[in-house]
């Protein structure tokens, strides 16, 4: 494989936050490219959402920010997101987006988007405990909370 064919390695840190569930919520990501040292941060918010939707949206937005297929180290405090992507999604698809207990998969629209995005990239999953002084996780949480607070204040 030539250097031109090698996928760039990036680190993606994500978090979602919600005030009430459902309620106003925010998402945030930090994307790091270790080889160049570049860092990109972004956040957003919705007026009426759930924490799980914001966790999913953070990953979607982080993966969408990538300009080409990449090797991604995804770090999240959401077991829902990581297990969904690593363990559950293929079974849901085989069962027509139904859970093992034959219930419709919640947040199917976002899972379908993530399924398309994961096909473009090679993703390795890393779970961390939330609110445990992990610098990027704490930063993402603060950005997500700030995003929904600004939205609710009309800023």
Positions marked active-site: 15-16, 55, 77, 131, 141
For the chain, counts of helices (H) and of strands (E): 5, 5
Strands 71-76 and 9-18: parallel
d(CA 92, CA 87): 10
Q: Are 42 and 65 in contact (CB under 8 A)?
A: yes
Which residue in this structure is represented by tokens 């990239």? Answer: 121
Sheet holding 71-76, edge to edge: 38-49, 23-33, 9-18, 71-76, 122-127
What residues does 104 pair with on adjacent strands?
98
């Amino acid at each position: 494989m030539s250097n031109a064919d090698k996928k760039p390695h990036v680190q993606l840190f994500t978090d979602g936050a919600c005030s009430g569930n459902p309620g106003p919520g925010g998402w945030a990501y930090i994307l790091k490219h270790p080889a160049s040292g570049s860092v990109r941060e972004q956040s957003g918010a919705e007026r009426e959402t759930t924490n799980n939707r914001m966790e999913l949206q953070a990953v979607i937005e982080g993966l969408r920010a990538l300009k080409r297929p990449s090797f991604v180290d995804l770090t999240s405090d959401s077991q829902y997101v990581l297990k969904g992507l690593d363990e559950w999604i293929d079974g849901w698809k085989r069962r027509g987006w139904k859970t093992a207990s034959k219930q419709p998969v919640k947040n199917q629209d976002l899972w379908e988007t993530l399924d398309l995005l994961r096909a473009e990239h090679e993703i390795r999953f890393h779970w961390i405990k939330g609110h445990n002084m992990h610098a990027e996780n704490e930063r993402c949480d603060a950005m997500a909370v700030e995003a929904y607070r600004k939205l609710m204040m009309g800023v």
